[in-house]
């Protein structure tokens, strides 16, 4: 199954042809523009192994996230980092259950996916986020500050590097300190270090109950509350603030959720599962508010969670207990990066036209050298997703 | 040997009491926690601040002198074993807690700060640092990052890599790397993960920002005895399948139980083959719900005795036996050798059976202590170093256990690191392309291979030699086969 990919990458390296790795195409907006021949992973599907008692799932990179999540849900388990799918998708039932469940077609291509021939430049529906794409992008959803990020759940990967060499790192066990942690290095590398072909993940039980509460609070008070509550033994699993409304999710045993609710007060939000899914997938109207024909971009400022209000306008949505501030802004990249740095973090142009030095905050010179050194070792020909992470490699 | 010219330049960088090279001063540094490996260092440098660390690295880089970083020296894989002709860079004096931010739940500390000191400093804010390697009273956070240390709570709270936010680290040529920080992520490659567990091979850490968690409102432990090791192993899977993620889930076999009971009188049932300790923690109501579930699952899984600790005193007593298991087993024989493999939990009965067979083959008793929740097995091989061949036999037995772990889909080290001790088994776990890539990652940071040379990743020609030895010994004949 992998031979075709190995041959393709070897040939591309020999001819110096840049390749653009494409899974479901749901995150093509993310990172810098890259050009090259499309290397589609959609034929690399199937759950290879799933042992609920071991809390480990291994699947090929092109497997749709939705398929994996449905399989896990059958066993009462989940991907705790809540990877975003993006694009329009059916919303869950009010009780949080999925509307449909698909059985994994181990080793087969799911019927509803276009069967792309090798290298075929078929535009996939932008709704089929894949496992490989999620790991390569390294993005996580609302549960991230309380349960961990994509990188925290990766136990092992198989990749094909830029010279066509298949490699495997990590494994299927939770504790493993043999060798450098190359598996996690792949998370968020946006395919620039190798084509991810298979991923092993730690999965977790779904909480027995979830309740979402809302509070009317101004921005400074909301930031303070989110941080104070995170420092107390409360079953928090997501937080959001927008337009004067703090929204907070509690997860756990029914008795624990009830006790926390009694303590915190607030109004119960109905249809909460849909609220969090829309936020995760950015299908909430806020994320489309960029004025057409303007320089506005959707910026993601990842900051110290206690950072005070940034005063960059009202088009703001706070997530992750204060650690992420989404902004719709036409401010200069340098301005936003400075603000983010002062706030203890960094700024990413998430959607919109990237500045000339790229969508991500430029690295310090020593870090930049290390990035290029690593890129050189994993992809000596510089053919994989060239420029997607940083324009210079 | 280091040249007098180099040594005099090194002395110029540090106050006189911070450079040791008299033999009696060097002896305390000749091994880390794995005392079977010893080598007297040529010189020990004990910098007192970050600028001195950077200056030492620059000097070593300029003279192409190797550097072995060392924290508290509690490591168990000879990762901090001195290398001939190298500077042993001891970071123990960088031991200040620079800041604790209770609202943001972070602590920024120097590498020589002890693991437990962080939790102690955070305690007044109701916070703590979660990873708790058993050496936490003594081990330092810098060493924890270098080894990606674990502990008994990894299944729920993760390893070091899951609990740190930022590092200040220096490359061998004296460049400062500021990685991560106060936000939850950083742009570019995940160098935080790459440096964590890199065993001092890529950079030298001078500051760590760790995450602090709220202290659980309540913790409660259930003890269960089984007549059969396989049943106890199955019970572990059943607890997890029931949706409970225990804070700690430990298993001991018969020999470990009896040794622990004789040593600390924890009140363990003695007429059983396996003992499980299952601790749940968190919000009060959650703990009650989980304890109820755990007891039900243990009953259904065939436990012959189940006890729930009803007080903090009883909880600590239940744990006392487990925590004293290593010294307790140590009383059974002049020496013991602690292994650190990880296996998929489902393989436990098979692995314990095979270890039992090997125990008979080698004529060495073995007690098994198991972080059952995360699959991390610590077989303790009993031997007598005064017997001719005693240590050698124990090491061979240990190597066979690690190869078995790889064979069943596990790994040669769950939390102790490779160091020098398990460098041979790296050839079993990884094939040539992966080992080559590890060397290239190293070269991306340290092309002259000056940081901790000879540790963690074996030279390929050494694997070939060892591979030949393995065939000769009738062991795994194809070490190049991928078996992860």
Q: Tell whether A149 and A222 lie within a shared domain.
A: no
Does A171 lie in the same domain as A269? no
- Kindly list the distances between the CA atom of residue A139 and the CA atoms of A43, A148, A153, A198, A311, in Å, as whole numbers in the listed order: 23, 11, 12, 17, 26
Residue B145 contacts A where some CB pair is shorter than 8 Å: no
Kindly tell me if the per-residue pLDDT of A344 is higher than 90.
yes
Distance (Å) from the alpha carbon of B245 to chain A's nearest alpha carbon: 8
From the list B289, B345, B376, the residue facing A54 with the nearest CB is B345
| B413-467 per-position pLDDT tens digit | 999 999 999 999 999 999 999 999 999 999 999 999 999 999 999 999 888 887 6
Give the per-residue pLDDT at A35.
Answer: 86
E strand or H helix at B154? helix B154-157
State how far residue A115 is from chain B, nearest Cα, in angstroms.
31
What share of chain B in percent tops pLDDT 70?
96
Beta partners for B70?
B90
Which residues, at least 6 apart from B124, have a Cβ–Cβ distance to it below 8 Å?
A: none
Checking DSSP bridges between strand B66-70 and strand B97-101, what pairing results, if any?
unpaired
Cα end-to-end span (Å), chain A? 29
Per-residue pLDDT of A149-205, as tens digits, reads 999 999 999 999 999 999 999 999 999 999 999 999 999 999 999 999 999 999 999
For residues B325 and B256, what is the distance between their CA atoms, to the nearest angstrom? 6
One domain for residues A192 and A222: no
Q: Which domain holds residue A97?
A: 3-205
Provide CB contacts within 8 A for A320, sequence distance 6+.
A142, A144, A145, A239, A305, B184
Would you call A251 helix, strand, or coil by DSSP?
strand
Question: In residues, how long is chain B?
Answer: 484
**Close Cβ partners of A83 (under 8 Å, ≥ 6 residues apart):** A65, A129, A134, A139, A140, A141, A150
- Single out the residue in A158, A178, A205 at which a domain terminates: A205
Residues A192, A244 within the same domain: no
* Model pLDDT for residues A216-258, shown as the tens digit of each residue: 999 999 999 999 999 999 999 999 999 999 999 999 999 999 9
User: What whole-number distance in Å separates Cα of residue B85 and Cα of residue B262?
Assistant: 46
Contacts of A367 in chain B (CB under 8 A): 177-179, 188, 191
- Inside any domain, residue A378: no
Per the CB < 8 A criterion, the answer to whether B418 and A176 are in contact is: no
What's the rounded mean pLDDT across residues A324-351?
Answer: 97
The separation between CA A392 and the C-alpha centre of its own chain, rounded to angstroms, equals 23
- 429-448 in chain B: CB under 8 A from chain A: 429-430, 433-434, 437-438, 440-445
Residue B277's nearest CA partner among B294, B265, B300 is B294
Claim to verify: residue A82 and residue A104 sit in the same structural domain: yes
Place of tokens 């001790």: B421
Number of separate domains in chain A: 2
The total of other beta-carbon atoms located within 10 Å of residue A344's CB is 20
Q: What is the pLDDT of residues A55-87, one digit of tens each?
A: 999 999 999 999 999 999 999 999 999 999 997
Q: Which of B189, B238, B371, B482 to mutate to test the interface with A (most CBs of A within 10 A)?
A: B189
Q: What is the ipTM of this complex?
A: 0.94
What string of H, E and C letters represents the secondary structure of B191-220? HHHHHCCCCCCCCEEEEEEEECEECCCEEE
Same-domain pairing of A254 and A228: yes
The pLDDT, as a whole number, for residue B1 is 84
Tell me the shortest Cα–Cα distance from B240 to chain A, in angstroms. Answer: 6
Task: State the residue for tokens 């296996």.
Answer: B343
Tell whether the model's pLDDT for residue A97 goes beyond 90. no
Domain membership of residue A375 (yes or no) is no
Q: What is the pTM of this model?
A: 0.93
Query: Which pLDDT score is estimated for B142?
Result: 98
For residue A58, what are the CA distances in angstroms to A141, A156, B222?
20, 9, 32
Q: Convert the pLDDT of each residue in B236-248 to its tens digit.
A: 999 999 999 999 9
- What pLDDT, on the 0 to 100 scale, is given for residue A91? 64
- Look at residue A146 and tell me whether its pLDDT is greater than 80: yes
User: Torsion over CA of B263, B265, B269 and B272, rounded to 10 degrees?
Assistant: 0
By the CB < 8 Å criterion, does B215 face chain A? yes
Q: Indicate whether A340 and A219 sit together in one domain.
A: yes
**Residue A127 has what pLDDT?**
60
Claim to verify: residue A191 and residue A212 sit in the same structural domain? no
Confidence of residue A93 (pLDDT cuts 50, 70, 90): low
Q: Is it the case that residue B163 has pLDDT exceeding 60?
A: yes
User: Strand A245-252 to strand A209-216: parallel, antiparallel, or no bridges (unpaired)?
Assistant: antiparallel
> Token digits for A162?
């830029």
Sorting pLDDT into bands at 50, 70 and 90, what band is A89?
A: low
Q: Could you read off the pLDDT of A272-316 as tens digits, one per residue?
A: 999 999 999 999 999 988 888 888 999 999 999 999 999 999 999
Nearest CA to CA, how far is A290 from chain B (Å)? 24
Q: Domains, chain B, ranges and CATH? A: 4-90 (3.30.43.10), 97-214 (3.30.465.10), 218-328 (3.30.70.2190)
In a domain, A371, yes or no: no
A91 and A65 within one domain? yes
On average, the pLDDT of chain A sits at 91
- Reading the block at residue B247, the tokens are 């804070």
Same domain? A200 vs A239: no
In this predicted structure, the answer to whether residue B252 has a pLDDT above a threshold of 80 is: yes
Same-domain pairing of A98 and A239:
no
Of B198, B217, B410, the CB nearest to A173: B410
CATH assignment of the domain containing A153: 3.30.465.10
For B419, list phi and psi in degrees, rounded to 5: 55, -135
What is the rounded CA–CA span in Å between residue A62 and residue A132?
Answer: 6
> Quick one: pLDDT at residue A115?
34
Cα-based torsion angle of the residue sequence B178, B181, B184, B186 in order, rounded to the nearest 10 degrees: -20
């Amino acid at each position: 199954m992998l031979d075709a990919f190995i041959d393709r990458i070897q040939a591309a390296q020999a001819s110096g042809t840049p390749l653009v790795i494409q899974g479901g195409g749901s995150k093509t907006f993310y990172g810098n523009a890259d050009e090259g021949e499309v290397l589609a992973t959609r034929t690399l599907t199937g759950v290879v192994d799933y042992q609920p008692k071991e809390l480990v799932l291994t699947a090929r990179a092109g497997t749709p996230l939705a398929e994996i999540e449905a399989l896990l849900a059958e066993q009462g388990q989940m991907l705790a980092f809540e990877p975003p799918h993006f694009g329009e998708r059916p919303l869950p039932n009010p009780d949080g259950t999925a509307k449909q469940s698909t059985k994994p077609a181990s080793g087969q291509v799911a019927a509803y996916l276009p069967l792309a021939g090798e290298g075929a430049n078929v535009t996939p529906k932008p709704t089929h986020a894949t496992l490989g794409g999620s790991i390569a992008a390294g993005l996580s959803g609302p549960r991230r500050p309380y349960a961990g990020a994509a990188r925290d759940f990766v136990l092992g990967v198989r990749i094909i590097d830029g010279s066509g060499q298949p490699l495997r790192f990590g494994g299927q066990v939770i504790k493993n300190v043999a060798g450098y942690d190359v598996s996690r290095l792949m998370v968020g590398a946006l395919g620039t270090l190798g084509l991810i072909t298979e991923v092993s993940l730690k999965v977790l039980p779904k909480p027995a109950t979830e309740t979402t509460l809302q509070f009317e609070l101004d921005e400074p008070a909301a930031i303070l509350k989110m941080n104070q509550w995170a420092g107390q033994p409360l079953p928090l699993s997501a937080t959001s603030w927008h337009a004067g409304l703090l929204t907070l999710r509690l997860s756990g045993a029914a008795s624990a959720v009830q006790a926390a609710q009694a303590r915190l007060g607030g109004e119960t939000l109905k249809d909460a599962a849909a609220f969090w899914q829309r936020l995760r997938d950015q299908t909430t109207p806020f994320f489309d508010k960029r004025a057409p024909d303007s320089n506005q971009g959707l910026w993601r400022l990842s900051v110290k969670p206690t950072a005070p209000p940034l005063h960059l306008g009202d088009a703001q949505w706070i997530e992750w207990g204060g650690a992420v501030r989404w902004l719709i802004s036409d401010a200069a990249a340098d301005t936003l990066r400075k603000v983010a740095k002062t706030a203890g973090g960094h700024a990413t142009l998430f959607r919109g036209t990237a500045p000339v030095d790229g969508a991500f905050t430029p690295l310090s010179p020593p870090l930049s050298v290390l990035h290029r050194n690593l890129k050189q070792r994993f992809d000596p020909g510089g053919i994989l997703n060239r420029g997607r992470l940083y324009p210079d490699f | 040997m280091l040249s007098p010219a180099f040594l005099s330049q090194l002395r110029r960088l540090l106050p006189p009491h911070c450079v040791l090279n008299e033999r009696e001063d060097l002896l305390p540094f000749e091994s880390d926690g794995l005392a079977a490996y010893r080598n007297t260092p040529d010189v020990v440098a004990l910098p007192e601040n970050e600028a001195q660390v950077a200056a030492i690295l620059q000097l070593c880089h300029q003279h192409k002198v190797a550097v072995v970083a060392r924290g508290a020296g509690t490591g168990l894989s000879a990762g901090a074993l001195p290398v001939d002709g190298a500077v042993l860079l001891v970071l123990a004096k960088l031991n200040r807690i620079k800041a604790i931010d209770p609202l943001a739940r972070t602590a920024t500390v120097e590498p020589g700060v002890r693991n437990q000191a962080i939790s102690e400093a955070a305690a007044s804010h109701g916070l703590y640092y979660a990873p708790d390697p058993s050496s936490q009273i003594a081990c330092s956070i810098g060493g924890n990052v270098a080894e990606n240390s674990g502990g008994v709570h990894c299944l729920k709270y993760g390893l070091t890599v899951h609990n740190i936010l930022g590092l200040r680290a220096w490359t061998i040529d004296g460049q400062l790397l500021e990685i991560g920080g106060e936000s939850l992520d950083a742009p570019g490659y995940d160098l935080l993960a790459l440096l964590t567990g890199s065993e001092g091979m890529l950079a030298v850490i001078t500051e760590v920002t760790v995450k602090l968690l709220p202290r659980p409102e309540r913790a409660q432990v259930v003890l269960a005895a089984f007549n059969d090791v396989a049943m106890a192993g199955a019970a572990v899977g059943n607890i997890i399948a029931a949706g409970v993620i225990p804070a700690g889930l430990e298993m001991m076999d018969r020999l470990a139980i009896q040794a622990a009971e004789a040593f600390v009188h924890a009140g363990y049932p003695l007429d059983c083959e396996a003992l499980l300790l299952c601790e749940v923690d968190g919000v009060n109501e959650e703990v009650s719900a989980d304890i109820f579930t755990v007891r039900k699952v243990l009953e259904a899984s065939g436990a012959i005795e189940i006890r729930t600790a009803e007080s903090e005193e009883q909880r600590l007593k239940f744990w006392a036996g487990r925590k004293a298991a290593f010294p307790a087993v140590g009383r059974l024989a002049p020496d013991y050798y602690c292994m650190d493999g990880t296996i998929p939990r489902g393989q436990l009965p098979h692995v314990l059976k095979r270890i039992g067979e090997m125990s008979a083959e080698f004529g060495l008793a073995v007690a098994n202590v198991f972080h059952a929740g995360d699959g991390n097995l610590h077989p303790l091989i009993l031997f007598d170093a005064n017997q001719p061949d005693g240590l050698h036999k124990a090491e061979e037995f240990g190597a066979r256990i690690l190869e078995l772990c790889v064979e069943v889909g596990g790994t040669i080290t769950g939390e102790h690191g490779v160091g020098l001790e398990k460098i041979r088994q790296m050839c079993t776990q990884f094939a040539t392309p992966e080992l080559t890539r590890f060397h290239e990652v190293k070269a991306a940071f340290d092309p002259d291979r000056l940081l901790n040379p000879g540790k963690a990743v074996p030279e390929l020609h050494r694997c070939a030699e060892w591979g030949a030895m393995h065939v000769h010994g009738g062991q795994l004949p194809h070490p190049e086969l991928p078996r992860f």
